[in-house]
Structure 1
Amino acid sequence: MRFHHVDVFTDRPFNGNSLAVFPDADALTGAQMLAITRELRHFESVFLLGEGTSGPHVRRARVFDLAGELEFAGHPLLGAAAVLHALHGAADHEAWTLRLTARSVEVTTDRRGPGRYASLLDQGAAAFLGRPDPDGLAALFDLEPGDLDADLPPEVVSTGLSYLVLPVRGDALARARVTAPLDEPLARLGAEYAYLLDTAAMEGRHWTNDGVLEDVATGSGAGCAAAYLRSHGRIGAGQERLLRQGRHTGRTGEMTVSAEGDGRTIHSVRVGGGVALVAEGRLRALPPA
């Protein structure tokens, strides 16, 4: 089975967030997809299904990280669309519909040069799920209460996955680390993940909930950050801003974010970035079904 190795949220290979894209995965079971994802050790892998059923511009997509299948993700969908453009796109600008288990999303792609694309994902509307008491939140990341941005409240936001958006200030972003598993404290807040955000520097950080891995660039988290920034008037309606992430991992990710709407009614969130095609490969064998 063939696959493509791409780097997302970057304009050059060996940077940004790496990803494996399987464009013809109809024969695989979910268990095989998870086993392959764990074997390749990318942060996530995406498997495309249904070629020929609705035309090349509409595909089903299943996204896995090392723990299991995700209902939504950012960088896998952007990378998948770029691979579809490379394989099936006749024009320099193309539009794709990717059908996840829970919903469908639209992704547009533009050819930028040999092996280089720009992808833009419309994540849809944002949901604001609550503003938790900030007491104790800084300690989850080995920070002090004074490291939190006093002008902006912590808030749980979702554009598909729910994130605790935690604004920090000064050098707190650089000092932050996960000292204990986050699953239980986040679940009590109604969140699945956490995204630390320095609004002055327009930079974020995100880890797996066990703190073992730090993500280079988190498209789903960036979408929640964009909705949060618009809701609090830190970016204009439809204004595109650059959000950086990953410098503490040795790689860098650059995400363009924007949001339409006002207050807590954010009806459209877009996240985009560059995609660099790095390699193509073929599995010699498949894991047990």
Structure 2
Amino acid sequence: MHYFHVDVFSGTPFSGNSLAVFPGAAGLNGSQMQRITEEMRHFESIFLDQKNEAGDAWRARVFDLSEELDFAGHPVIGAASVLHAMAGGDTSRTWSLELKARTVEVVRERRGHGRYASVLDQGPPQFLGRPVLNDLSSWFCLDEEDLHAELPPEIVSTGLHYLIVPVRTGALKRARITSDITGPLGQVGAQFAYLLDADALEGRHWNNDGVVEDVATGSAAGCVAAYLRRHERLGDGDQQVLRQGQFCGRPSEMTISAHGGPQAITSVRVGGEVAVVAQGRLEGLPQ
């Protein structure tokens, strides 16, 4: 089985968020996809199955090292780049990818040999509440004064439920997770947490036990765009750059925008560059 190795949210190979893309995965089951993802050891892998003869609509399943995800941003953006590379041509193209949580469209443009730029429309966001958590700062080994004085924590979703936790500038560098926060997150209806320096436009995200830090979290970036628009930190359709990954040695940049009024956001968009690093072939498949 043929696959591609790409780096997402960076135009330079060996930076950004790495990904394995399998464009011919129609015959695989979920167990096989999970085992392949564990073998590849990228942050995530995405498996594609063509839906129509035109080749512009695909079913997609995304796995990280422990489970299948209902939605993810950087795999979708990386997959669209691979589809563009396979199709050829220098013009902009639009790809439709059907995930478990929703179907999304990605507009891609070739920037040069092995380099692409994209914009993913994640659709309208959901705002799922502002929980009051007296011990929230301790989840990330921070002090109470490290939380942002004006912006409240809020749960936002464009497919995955993120607790957006705004912090003061300087707090991200000291933050870490030392105790699994899955339980506390579940009690307030969230799946993951994303620390956001809304003044510097930079974020950090770990898996819930804190063992692995994510380089660039596309699904969370859409939630950040919605959050900033809701709190009037982002204008209607204005594009900003959200940075992530510097604290784990792989600086990444995601363009974010939100469209509509603060109380009626119609869509959020996340974009970035992709570099094709390598191609390979699996000589066998897990049984």
Cα distance in 2 for partners of 1:201, 1:102 equals 31
CA contact (8 A) 1:243 1:257 kept: yes
Cross-structure match for 1:36: 36
Deviation (angstroms), 1:170: 2.8
Cα distance in 2 for partners of 1:194, 1:81 equals 27
Cα distance in 1 for partners of 2:121, 2:217 equals 15
Secondary structure of 2:268's aligned partner:
strand
Cross-structure match for 1:244: 243
Deviation (angstroms), 1:50: 2.5
Q: Deviations over 1:74-119 (max 9, x none)?
A: 0000000000000014342000000112321000000000000001
Residue pairs, 1:1-289, within 5 angstroms? 1-50=1-50, 53-288=52-287
**TM-score, normalised on structure 1?**
0.97
Letter in 2 for 1:208: N
Cα distance in 2 for partners of 1:67, 1:152 equals 32
Deviation (angstroms), 1:232: 0.3
Cα distance in 1 for partners of 2:236, 2:34 equals 39
Q: Deviations over 1:237-278 (max 9, x none)?
A: 100000000001111110000001222321100000000000
Q: How many residues align?
A: 287
CA contact (8 A) 1:128 1:264 kept: no
Secondary structure of 1:270's aligned partner:
strand
Deviation (angstroms), 1:230: 0.6
Structure 2: give runs of 5+ residues left out of the alignment.
Answer: none
Structure 1: give runs of 5+ residues left out of the alignment.
Answer: none
Cα distance in 1 for partners of 2:49, 2:228 equals 35
CA contact (8 A) 2:102 2:159 kept: no
Cα distance in 1 for partners of 2:133, 2:223 equals 18
Cα distance in 2 for partners of 1:109, 1:170 equals 33
**TM-score, normalised on structure 2?**
0.98
Secondary structure of 2:168's aligned partner:
coil
CA contact (8 A) 2:4 2:21 kept: yes
Cα distance in 2 for partners of 1:34, 1:23 equals 16
Secondary structure of 1:279's aligned partner:
strand
CA contact (8 A) 1:20 1:46 kept: yes
Letter in 1 for 2:50: G
